[in-house]
Amino acid sequence: MNILKSAFITTYLLSITFTCFSQESTTEPAINSTINPANPAINPAKHSKAEIESIQPYSNLPLKQVSNLAKVFDLIKTHYVEEIEDDTLLKYAIEGMVEQLDPHSAYFDSESLQSFTESTSGKFSGLGIEITMENGLVKVIAAMDGSPAQQAGLQSGDLIYELDSQIVQGMSLREASEIMRGKIGSKIQLKAKRPGQKEPLTFNIIRAEISNSSVKSFLLNNQIGYAKISSFQSETGNDFEKAILDMQQSSDQFKAIILDLRNNPGGLLQQAIKVSDIFLEEKLVVYTQGRSEQSKEHHYTSLNTIGKDLKVIVLINQGSASASEIVAGALQDHKRAVIMGQTSFGKASVQQILNLDDSSAIKLTIARYFTPLGRTIQAHGIKPDITIIPSVVSKLEDRQYVSESQLSGHLEGDLDQSAQANNINNLDVLTDDYQLQQAFQLLQGALIL
Protein backbone atom coordinates (compact mmCIF):
# COMPACT_ATOMS: atom_id res chain seq x y z
CA MET A 1 0.00 0.00 0.00
CA ASN A 2 1.56 3.30 -1.02
CA ILE A 3 1.66 6.38 1.18
CA LEU A 4 -0.88 8.36 -0.83
CA LYS A 5 -3.38 5.53 -0.53
CA SER A 6 -2.68 5.27 3.21
CA ALA A 7 -3.15 9.02 3.60
CA PHE A 8 -6.46 8.87 1.75
CA ILE A 9 -7.73 6.08 4.01
CA THR A 10 -6.54 7.88 7.13
CA THR A 11 -8.16 11.16 6.04
CA TYR A 12 -11.38 9.35 5.33
CA LEU A 13 -11.18 7.64 8.72
CA LEU A 14 -10.76 10.95 10.52
CA SER A 15 -13.70 12.52 8.72
CA ILE A 16 -16.06 9.61 9.27
CA THR A 17 -19.72 10.21 10.11
CA PHE A 18 -20.86 9.37 13.63
CA THR A 19 -24.25 8.47 15.06
CA CYS A 20 -24.71 10.24 18.39
CA PHE A 21 -26.79 8.80 21.19
CA SER A 22 -27.64 11.38 23.77
CA GLN A 23 -26.25 9.20 26.42
CA GLU A 24 -24.41 10.90 29.26
CA SER A 25 -22.03 8.96 31.44
CA THR A 26 -21.02 10.06 34.89
CA THR A 27 -18.93 7.10 35.90
CA GLU A 28 -16.94 4.18 34.66
CA PRO A 29 -18.64 1.41 36.57
CA ALA A 30 -17.82 -2.01 37.32
CA ILE A 31 -19.52 -4.32 35.18
CA ASN A 32 -17.94 -7.66 35.72
CA SER A 33 -14.72 -5.88 35.21
CA THR A 34 -15.58 -4.39 31.85
CA ILE A 35 -15.13 -0.75 31.02
CA ASN A 36 -18.74 0.19 31.54
CA PRO A 37 -19.46 3.94 31.46
CA ALA A 38 -21.97 4.31 34.09
CA ASN A 39 -24.19 7.22 33.49
CA PRO A 40 -25.83 7.31 30.09
CA ALA A 41 -29.02 9.33 30.06
CA ILE A 42 -30.61 6.83 27.67
CA ASN A 43 -30.48 3.07 28.00
CA PRO A 44 -28.21 1.96 25.14
CA ALA A 45 -30.56 -0.95 24.52
CA LYS A 46 -33.09 1.58 23.21
CA HIS A 47 -31.10 2.58 20.17
CA SER A 48 -34.23 3.23 18.13
CA LYS A 49 -34.93 6.35 20.17
CA ALA A 50 -31.49 7.83 19.59
CA GLU A 51 -31.10 11.30 18.21
CA ILE A 52 -28.92 11.09 15.14
CA GLU A 53 -26.40 13.81 14.45
CA SER A 54 -23.93 14.01 11.59
CA ILE A 55 -20.44 15.27 12.21
CA GLN A 56 -19.25 16.96 9.01
CA PRO A 57 -15.79 16.15 7.66
CA TYR A 58 -13.18 18.29 9.33
CA SER A 59 -11.83 20.64 6.67
CA ASN A 60 -8.73 21.78 8.54
CA LEU A 61 -6.90 18.51 9.11
CA PRO A 62 -3.24 18.80 10.23
CA LEU A 63 -1.89 17.32 6.99
CA LYS A 64 1.67 16.80 8.25
CA GLN A 65 0.49 14.74 11.22
CA VAL A 66 -2.00 12.84 9.03
CA SER A 67 0.83 12.10 6.61
CA ASN A 68 2.96 10.78 9.49
CA LEU A 69 0.08 8.57 10.61
CA ALA A 70 -0.22 7.19 7.08
CA LYS A 71 3.57 6.61 6.97
CA VAL A 72 3.44 4.68 10.27
CA PHE A 73 0.55 2.62 8.92
CA ASP A 74 2.53 1.81 5.76
CA LEU A 75 5.74 1.02 7.67
CA ILE A 76 3.92 -1.41 9.98
CA LYS A 77 2.26 -3.08 7.01
CA THR A 78 5.62 -3.41 5.25
CA HIS A 79 8.15 -4.17 8.00
CA TYR A 80 6.40 -5.50 11.13
CA VAL A 81 7.53 -9.01 12.00
CA GLU A 82 4.01 -10.42 11.62
CA GLU A 83 1.30 -9.61 9.10
CA ILE A 84 -1.54 -7.53 10.52
CA GLU A 85 -4.92 -6.93 8.94
CA ASP A 86 -5.81 -3.37 7.94
CA ASP A 87 -8.95 -3.44 10.11
CA THR A 88 -6.90 -4.42 13.14
CA LEU A 89 -4.38 -1.64 12.64
CA LEU A 90 -7.09 0.97 12.17
CA LYS A 91 -8.86 -0.27 15.30
CA TYR A 92 -5.60 0.10 17.23
CA ALA A 93 -5.27 3.65 15.92
CA ILE A 94 -8.76 4.56 17.13
CA GLU A 95 -8.18 2.90 20.50
CA GLY A 96 -4.95 4.78 21.07
CA MET A 97 -6.41 8.10 19.94
CA VAL A 98 -9.41 7.85 22.28
CA GLU A 99 -8.01 6.06 25.32
CA GLN A 100 -5.05 8.42 25.72
CA LEU A 101 -7.43 11.35 26.31
CA ASP A 102 -8.48 10.48 29.89
CA PRO A 103 -9.28 7.41 32.00
CA HIS A 104 -12.97 7.46 31.03
CA SER A 105 -12.88 7.85 27.26
CA ALA A 106 -12.75 4.50 25.50
CA TYR A 107 -13.26 2.58 22.28
CA PHE A 108 -15.94 -0.16 22.22
CA ASP A 109 -15.80 -3.02 19.79
CA SER A 110 -19.02 -4.99 19.32
CA GLU A 111 -18.44 -7.17 22.41
CA SER A 112 -17.57 -4.23 24.67
CA LEU A 113 -20.59 -2.33 23.40
CA GLN A 114 -22.81 -5.30 24.19
CA SER A 115 -21.33 -5.48 27.71
CA PHE A 116 -22.08 -1.79 28.16
CA THR A 117 -25.68 -2.38 27.12
CA GLU A 118 -26.03 -5.29 29.52
CA SER A 119 -24.56 -3.28 32.40
CA THR A 120 -27.40 -0.77 32.46
CA SER A 121 -30.00 -3.55 32.66
CA GLY A 122 -28.62 -4.76 36.01
CA LYS A 123 -27.88 -8.30 34.79
CA PHE A 124 -24.49 -9.41 33.52
CA SER A 125 -21.73 -11.95 34.05
CA GLY A 126 -18.28 -11.43 35.50
CA LEU A 127 -16.64 -10.13 38.68
CA GLY A 128 -18.77 -7.11 39.57
CA ILE A 129 -16.22 -4.35 40.01
CA GLU A 130 -15.93 -0.70 38.97
CA ILE A 131 -12.48 -0.03 37.52
CA THR A 132 -10.31 2.64 35.97
CA MET A 133 -6.65 2.93 34.99
CA GLU A 134 -4.02 4.61 37.17
CA ASN A 135 -0.33 4.73 36.32
CA GLY A 136 -0.67 1.71 34.06
CA LEU A 137 -2.49 -0.42 36.65
CA VAL A 138 -6.16 -1.31 37.02
CA LYS A 139 -7.58 0.59 39.98
CA VAL A 140 -10.66 -0.67 41.79
CA ILE A 141 -13.19 2.08 42.39
CA ALA A 142 -15.74 -0.18 44.06
CA ALA A 143 -16.72 -3.82 44.33
CA MET A 144 -20.47 -4.15 43.94
CA ASP A 145 -22.46 -5.48 46.88
CA GLY A 146 -22.73 -9.26 46.86
CA SER A 147 -20.46 -9.61 43.81
CA PRO A 148 -17.72 -12.25 43.49
CA ALA A 149 -15.14 -9.46 43.74
CA GLN A 150 -16.54 -8.20 47.03
CA GLN A 151 -16.82 -11.71 48.46
CA ALA A 152 -13.18 -12.34 47.53
CA GLY A 153 -12.14 -9.22 49.46
CA LEU A 154 -11.30 -6.67 46.75
CA GLN A 155 -11.62 -3.12 48.06
CA SER A 156 -11.78 0.41 46.73
CA GLY A 157 -8.26 1.65 45.99
CA ASP A 158 -6.71 -1.77 45.26
CA LEU A 159 -4.31 -1.64 42.30
CA ILE A 160 -4.42 -4.79 40.18
CA TYR A 161 -1.06 -5.51 38.54
CA GLU A 162 -1.50 -9.10 37.34
CA LEU A 163 -4.41 -11.00 35.72
CA ASP A 164 -4.03 -14.76 35.36
CA SER A 165 -0.22 -14.41 35.29
CA GLN A 166 -0.41 -11.61 32.70
CA ILE A 167 1.18 -8.28 33.70
CA VAL A 168 -1.31 -5.41 33.49
CA GLN A 169 1.34 -2.74 32.77
CA GLY A 170 1.02 -1.85 29.10
CA MET A 171 -2.58 -3.04 28.71
CA SER A 172 -5.45 -0.74 27.89
CA LEU A 173 -8.47 -0.67 30.18
CA ARG A 174 -10.46 -2.51 27.52
CA GLU A 175 -7.84 -5.26 27.20
CA ALA A 176 -7.72 -5.76 30.97
CA SER A 177 -11.50 -5.84 31.08
CA GLU A 178 -11.70 -8.51 28.39
CA ILE A 179 -9.36 -10.73 30.38
CA MET A 180 -11.52 -10.34 33.49
CA ARG A 181 -14.62 -11.27 31.54
CA GLY A 182 -15.39 -14.92 31.00
CA LYS A 183 -17.87 -17.74 31.30
CA ILE A 184 -19.92 -18.13 34.46
CA GLY A 185 -18.16 -20.54 36.80
CA SER A 186 -14.69 -19.99 35.33
CA LYS A 187 -11.85 -18.92 37.59
CA ILE A 188 -9.47 -16.00 37.46
CA GLN A 189 -6.55 -15.02 39.70
CA LEU A 190 -5.88 -11.35 40.42
CA LYS A 191 -2.82 -9.93 42.14
CA ALA A 192 -3.08 -6.46 43.63
CA LYS A 193 -1.33 -3.89 45.77
CA ARG A 194 -3.28 -2.27 48.59
CA PRO A 195 -2.30 1.18 49.87
CA GLY A 196 -0.83 0.92 53.35
CA GLN A 197 0.16 -2.74 52.99
CA LYS A 198 3.65 -3.87 52.01
CA GLU A 199 2.78 -7.37 50.82
CA PRO A 200 0.83 -7.90 47.58
CA LEU A 201 -2.54 -9.63 47.74
CA THR A 202 -3.79 -12.58 45.69
CA PHE A 203 -7.48 -13.08 44.90
CA ASN A 204 -8.91 -16.25 43.36
CA ILE A 205 -12.34 -15.37 42.04
CA ILE A 206 -15.04 -17.42 40.31
CA ARG A 207 -16.96 -15.47 37.68
CA ALA A 208 -20.72 -15.40 38.19
CA GLU A 209 -23.89 -13.90 36.80
CA ILE A 210 -24.46 -10.57 38.48
CA SER A 211 -28.19 -10.08 38.79
CA ASN A 212 -28.20 -6.90 40.71
CA SER A 213 -31.33 -5.34 42.11
CA SER A 214 -29.99 -1.88 42.72
CA VAL A 215 -32.27 -0.94 45.65
CA LYS A 216 -32.53 -2.75 48.97
CA SER A 217 -34.70 -1.21 51.69
CA PHE A 218 -36.45 -1.89 54.99
CA LEU A 219 -37.51 -0.15 58.19
CA LEU A 220 -35.01 -0.16 61.04
CA ASN A 221 -37.75 0.78 63.48
CA ASN A 222 -41.13 2.47 63.28
CA GLN A 223 -39.59 5.86 62.50
CA ILE A 224 -36.35 5.26 60.60
CA GLY A 225 -35.89 3.49 57.27
CA TYR A 226 -32.83 2.27 55.43
CA ALA A 227 -32.22 2.16 51.67
CA LYS A 228 -29.10 0.90 49.94
CA ILE A 229 -28.58 1.84 46.28
CA SER A 230 -25.74 -0.24 44.86
CA SER A 231 -25.73 1.39 41.39
CA PHE A 232 -27.95 3.60 39.23
CA GLN A 233 -29.63 1.34 36.68
CA SER A 234 -32.55 1.82 34.31
CA GLU A 235 -35.19 1.12 37.02
CA THR A 236 -33.43 2.51 40.08
CA GLY A 237 -35.55 5.66 40.31
CA ASN A 238 -38.83 3.72 40.15
CA ASP A 239 -37.57 1.06 42.57
CA PHE A 240 -36.45 3.69 45.08
CA GLU A 241 -39.79 5.51 44.87
CA LYS A 242 -41.59 2.21 45.49
CA ALA A 243 -39.32 1.53 48.48
CA ILE A 244 -40.25 4.89 50.04
CA LEU A 245 -43.98 4.30 49.45
CA ASP A 246 -43.75 0.81 50.95
CA MET A 247 -42.11 2.16 54.11
CA GLN A 248 -44.71 4.91 54.38
CA GLN A 249 -47.46 2.32 54.17
CA SER A 250 -45.76 -0.04 56.64
CA SER A 251 -45.51 2.60 59.38
CA ASP A 252 -47.45 5.81 59.84
CA GLN A 253 -44.57 6.95 62.10
CA PHE A 254 -41.99 6.74 59.29
CA LYS A 255 -40.13 10.07 59.47
CA ALA A 256 -36.49 9.56 58.49
CA ILE A 257 -34.26 7.52 56.21
CA ILE A 258 -30.61 6.55 55.84
CA LEU A 259 -29.64 6.50 52.15
CA ASP A 260 -26.59 4.30 51.76
CA LEU A 261 -24.49 5.15 48.68
CA ARG A 262 -21.27 3.54 49.90
CA ASN A 263 -19.41 1.60 47.19
CA ASN A 264 -21.90 2.84 44.60
CA PRO A 265 -19.86 3.35 41.40
CA GLY A 266 -22.53 5.40 39.67
CA GLY A 267 -24.85 4.63 36.78
CA LEU A 268 -27.48 6.39 34.74
CA LEU A 269 -27.59 10.15 35.12
CA GLN A 270 -31.37 10.35 34.76
CA GLN A 271 -31.78 7.82 37.57
CA ALA A 272 -29.64 9.96 39.88
CA ILE A 273 -31.99 12.86 39.12
CA LYS A 274 -35.04 10.67 39.86
CA VAL A 275 -33.59 9.62 43.21
CA SER A 276 -32.90 13.26 44.07
CA ASP A 277 -36.49 14.03 43.07
CA ILE A 278 -37.72 11.99 46.04
CA PHE A 279 -36.31 14.61 48.42
CA LEU A 280 -35.95 17.85 46.42
CA GLU A 281 -38.92 19.83 45.09
CA GLU A 282 -38.21 21.90 41.97
CA LYS A 283 -34.50 22.22 42.67
CA LEU A 284 -31.39 22.13 40.51
CA VAL A 285 -29.66 18.76 40.87
CA VAL A 286 -26.64 19.15 38.59
CA TYR A 287 -25.43 21.14 35.61
CA THR A 288 -22.85 20.33 32.95
CA GLN A 289 -20.40 22.50 31.03
CA GLY A 290 -18.37 21.57 27.97
CA ARG A 291 -17.11 23.08 24.73
CA SER A 292 -20.28 22.50 22.70
CA GLU A 293 -23.66 24.07 23.42
CA GLN A 294 -25.26 20.62 23.50
CA SER A 295 -23.08 19.69 26.49
CA LYS A 296 -24.36 22.61 28.60
CA GLU A 297 -27.41 21.36 30.47
CA HIS A 298 -29.23 21.99 33.75
CA HIS A 299 -31.19 19.18 35.40
CA TYR A 300 -34.01 19.92 37.85
CA THR A 301 -36.36 17.88 40.01
CA SER A 302 -40.14 18.04 39.67
CA LEU A 303 -43.08 18.79 41.96
CA ASN A 304 -43.63 15.08 42.58
CA THR A 305 -41.59 14.89 45.79
CA ILE A 306 -42.99 12.11 47.98
CA GLY A 307 -40.19 12.33 50.58
CA LYS A 308 -39.93 16.09 50.98
CA ASP A 309 -40.68 15.91 54.74
CA LEU A 310 -38.33 13.03 55.54
CA LYS A 311 -35.16 13.66 57.51
CA VAL A 312 -32.25 12.24 55.49
CA ILE A 313 -28.73 11.03 56.14
CA VAL A 314 -26.58 9.96 53.17
CA LEU A 315 -23.67 7.57 53.72
CA ILE A 316 -20.73 7.79 51.29
CA ASN A 317 -17.15 6.48 51.11
CA GLN A 318 -14.21 6.28 48.69
CA GLY A 319 -16.17 3.84 46.53
CA SER A 320 -19.01 6.34 45.96
CA ALA A 321 -18.55 7.78 42.48
CA SER A 322 -20.20 9.78 39.76
CA ALA A 323 -24.02 9.48 39.91
CA SER A 324 -23.88 8.78 43.65
CA GLU A 325 -21.76 11.93 44.06
CA ILE A 326 -24.36 13.90 42.09
CA VAL A 327 -27.10 12.85 44.53
CA ALA A 328 -24.96 13.49 47.62
CA GLY A 329 -23.77 16.86 46.28
CA ALA A 330 -27.29 18.05 45.42
CA LEU A 331 -28.73 17.09 48.81
CA GLN A 332 -25.75 18.68 50.56
CA ASP A 333 -25.93 21.96 48.61
CA HIS A 334 -29.65 22.33 49.26
CA LYS A 335 -29.10 21.46 52.96
CA ARG A 336 -31.58 18.65 52.50
CA ALA A 337 -29.48 15.90 54.06
CA VAL A 338 -26.54 15.33 56.37
CA ILE A 339 -23.70 13.61 54.48
CA MET A 340 -21.74 11.16 56.63
CA GLY A 341 -18.82 8.81 56.05
CA GLN A 342 -15.68 9.48 54.01
CA THR A 343 -14.75 11.68 51.04
CA SER A 344 -16.07 10.15 47.81
CA PHE A 345 -14.10 9.05 44.73
CA GLY A 346 -14.22 12.33 42.80
CA LYS A 347 -15.41 11.53 39.27
CA ALA A 348 -17.24 14.50 37.73
CA SER A 349 -16.93 14.22 33.98
CA VAL A 350 -19.67 13.46 31.48
CA GLN A 351 -19.23 10.85 28.76
CA GLN A 352 -21.25 10.39 25.58
CA ILE A 353 -21.61 7.28 23.46
CA LEU A 354 -20.91 7.95 19.76
CA ASN A 355 -21.68 5.00 17.51
CA LEU A 356 -19.48 4.51 14.47
CA ASP A 357 -20.93 3.28 11.18
CA ASP A 358 -20.66 -0.34 12.27
CA SER A 359 -21.17 -2.19 15.56
CA SER A 360 -18.41 -0.29 17.35
CA ALA A 361 -18.52 3.00 19.26
CA ILE A 362 -16.45 5.44 21.25
CA LYS A 363 -17.22 6.79 24.69
CA LEU A 364 -15.98 10.36 24.78
CA THR A 365 -15.68 12.81 27.67
CA ILE A 366 -17.63 15.89 26.56
CA ALA A 367 -18.20 17.94 29.73
CA ARG A 368 -17.70 18.35 33.46
CA TYR A 369 -20.59 18.40 35.88
CA PHE A 370 -21.07 20.70 38.86
CA THR A 371 -23.21 20.66 41.98
CA PRO A 372 -26.05 23.21 42.31
CA LEU A 373 -23.73 25.69 44.08
CA GLY A 374 -21.10 25.36 41.36
CA ARG A 375 -18.74 23.01 43.15
CA THR A 376 -16.62 20.71 41.04
CA ILE A 377 -16.33 17.16 42.29
CA GLN A 378 -13.62 16.17 39.80
CA ALA A 379 -10.56 14.85 41.64
CA HIS A 380 -11.89 16.33 44.92
CA GLY A 381 -14.96 14.27 45.71
CA ILE A 382 -17.82 15.08 48.05
CA LYS A 383 -16.57 15.84 51.55
CA PRO A 384 -18.97 14.62 54.23
CA ASP A 385 -20.49 16.97 56.79
CA ILE A 386 -19.54 14.44 59.45
CA THR A 387 -16.52 12.20 58.85
CA ILE A 388 -16.96 8.66 60.15
CA ILE A 389 -14.05 6.25 59.69
CA PRO A 390 -15.03 2.56 59.47
CA SER A 391 -14.26 0.93 62.80
CA VAL A 392 -14.66 -2.44 64.42
CA VAL A 393 -17.06 -2.25 67.37
CA SER A 394 -17.16 -5.01 69.95
CA LYS A 395 -19.72 -5.40 72.68
CA LEU A 396 -18.48 -5.26 76.27
CA GLU A 397 -19.54 -8.00 78.59
CA ASP A 398 -22.63 -6.88 80.51
CA ARG A 399 -22.25 -6.21 84.22
CA GLN A 400 -24.88 -7.83 86.39
CA TYR A 401 -27.41 -5.47 87.92
CA VAL A 402 -30.59 -6.13 89.87
CA SER A 403 -33.72 -4.53 88.40
CA GLU A 404 -37.03 -3.62 90.06
CA SER A 405 -38.74 -6.57 88.40
CA GLN A 406 -36.43 -8.97 90.25
CA LEU A 407 -37.34 -7.66 93.69
CA SER A 408 -39.68 -9.80 95.75
CA GLY A 409 -43.15 -8.30 95.95
CA HIS A 410 -42.57 -5.62 93.26
CA LEU A 411 -45.58 -3.81 91.81
CA GLU A 412 -46.68 -4.74 88.29
CA GLY A 413 -46.63 -2.03 85.63
CA ASP A 414 -49.26 -1.43 82.94
CA LEU A 415 -48.18 -2.40 79.42
CA ASP A 416 -49.82 -1.41 76.17
CA GLN A 417 -49.69 -4.77 74.44
CA SER A 418 -51.05 -3.47 71.13
CA ALA A 419 -48.29 -0.87 70.83
CA GLN A 420 -45.66 -3.50 71.53
CA ALA A 421 -47.11 -5.87 68.95
CA ASN A 422 -46.80 -3.27 66.18
CA ASN A 423 -43.23 -2.34 67.03
CA ILE A 424 -40.74 -2.73 64.15
CA ASN A 425 -37.20 -3.69 65.11
CA ASN A 426 -34.59 -4.56 62.46
CA LEU A 427 -31.61 -3.17 64.32
CA ASP A 428 -29.42 -6.27 64.00
CA VAL A 429 -27.87 -4.77 60.85
CA LEU A 430 -26.26 -2.08 63.01
CA THR A 431 -24.14 -4.59 64.93
CA ASP A 432 -21.15 -4.75 62.57
CA ASP A 433 -21.51 -1.42 60.76
CA TYR A 434 -20.12 1.48 62.77
CA GLN A 435 -20.94 4.12 60.17
CA LEU A 436 -24.54 2.95 59.95
CA GLN A 437 -24.75 2.93 63.76
CA GLN A 438 -23.66 6.55 63.91
CA ALA A 439 -26.15 7.59 61.21
CA PHE A 440 -28.98 5.84 63.04
CA GLN A 441 -28.10 7.45 66.37
CA LEU A 442 -27.94 10.92 64.79
CA LEU A 443 -31.39 10.46 63.26
CA GLN A 444 -32.77 9.20 66.56
CA GLY A 445 -31.51 12.34 68.30
CA ALA A 446 -32.94 14.57 65.57
CA LEU A 447 -36.36 12.93 65.87
CA ILE A 448 -36.37 13.27 69.64
CA LEU A 449 -35.54 16.96 69.47
In whole angstroms, what is the distance from residue 114 CA to residue 374 CA? 35
Q: Which of 322, 324, 344, 349 is catalytic?
A: 322
For residue 23, the number of C-alpha atoms closer than 13 Å in the C-beta half-sphere is 32
Distance between CA 198 and CA 163 in Å, rounded? 20
- Cβ neighbours for 389, distance < 8 A, ≥ 6 positions apart: 342
322 part of the active site: yes
Which runs of E-coded beta strand occur in 168-223? Answer: 187-193, 201-206, 208-211, 215-219
The C-alpha atoms of residue 391 and residue 197 are separated, in whole angstroms, by 18
- Are 20 and 354 spatial neighbours (Cβ–Cβ below 8 Å)? yes
DSSP for 353-392, written as a single string: EEE-SSS-EEEEEEEEEE-TT--B-TTT-PPPSEE-----
Alpha-carbon distance 147 to 321, whole Å?
A: 18
The one catalytic residue among 147, 311, 333, 344: 333
Q: Residue 148 belongs to what H/E stretch?
A: helix 148-152
Spatial distance between the Cα atoms of 149 and 32, rounded to a whole number of angstroms: 9
Closest CA to 275 of 261, 288, 265: 261
Question: At what angle are helices 173-180 and 110-119 packed, to 10 degrees?
Answer: 70
Q: 205: closest CA among 109, 125, 139?
A: 125
Question: Residue 77 and residue 84: Cα distance in Å, rounded?
Answer: 7
127 vs 207: CA distance, rounded Å:
5
Residue 15 designated active-site: no
The helix/strand/coil state of 135 is coil
**SS3 letters for 102-123?**
CCCCEEECHHHHHHHHHHCCCE
Q: Which amino acids are annotated catalytic?
A: 322, 333, 347
